[in-house]
């Protein structure tokens, strides 16, 4: 079985796909969709959580409805290795994601704010992080789509 040996098997992948479609469905419904009993589905999902395959269950919210309609991706240049700056980036609540990257910049951050003035404030705060020497912001005008990591 996939949940015991570290490998995700076809049933696990089907469970993950169903959960990504609707994480609120009952285990009986989930099990039926993948050919398992409710108990077996529950056990597999529990094991997927324990192993960290399923990292969290969340709600997909429209950022504009929450007053976070400005989306920007910011390339952060640095004068030093930024791998130790995780906490500094995490301390900026408008940053949704931060990634160490290869290329001309050192870090890529995803930022959501209500206004471009607030985005400018975030850029100012990035400069207070030790090692940050520059930023290049790209503001998103329209998002065609976003998708989760697929299990198949």
Q: Model's pTM, two decimal places?
A: 0.80
**Is pLDDT of 113 > 80?**
yes
Which fold is adopted by the domain 1-60?
Arc Repressor Mutant, subunit A (1.10.10)
Read off the pLDDT of residues 130-151 as tens digits, 9 standing for 90 and up: 999 999 999 999 999 988 888 7
Read off the pLDDT of residues 42-99 as tens digits, 9 standing for 90 and up: 999 999 999 999 999 988 889 999 999 999 999 999 998 998 999 999 999 999 999 9
Please name the CATH architecture into which domain 63-139 falls: 2-Layer Sandwich (3.30)
Q: Report domain extents, the chain.
A: 1-60, 63-139
Q: Which of 84, 96, 85, 149 is nearest to 122 (CA)?
A: 96
- pLDDT band of residue 6 (cuts 50, 70, 90) is low
Instruction: Please tell me if the domain spanning 1-60 has the same topology as the one spanning 63-139.
Output: no
């Amino acid at each position: 079985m996939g949940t015991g040996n570290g490998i995700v098997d076809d049933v696990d992948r089907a469970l993950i796909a169903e959960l990504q479609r609707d994480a609120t469905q009952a285990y009986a419904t989930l099990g039926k969709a993948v050919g398992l009993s409710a108990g077996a589905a529950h056990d597999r999902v529990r094991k997927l959580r324990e192993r960290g395959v399923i990292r969290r269950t969340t709600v997909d919210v429209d950022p504009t409805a929450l007053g976070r309609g400005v989306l920007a991706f910011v390339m952060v240049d640095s004068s030093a290795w930024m791998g130790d700056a995780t906490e500094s980036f995490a301390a900026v609540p408008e940053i949704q994601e931060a990634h160490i990257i290869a290329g001309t910049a050192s870090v890529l951050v995803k930022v959501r704010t209500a206004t471009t003035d607030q985005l400018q404030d975030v850029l100012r705060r990035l400069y207070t992080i030790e090692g940050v020497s520059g930023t290049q912001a790209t503001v998103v005008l329209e998002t065609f789509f976003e998708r989760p990591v697929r299990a198949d």
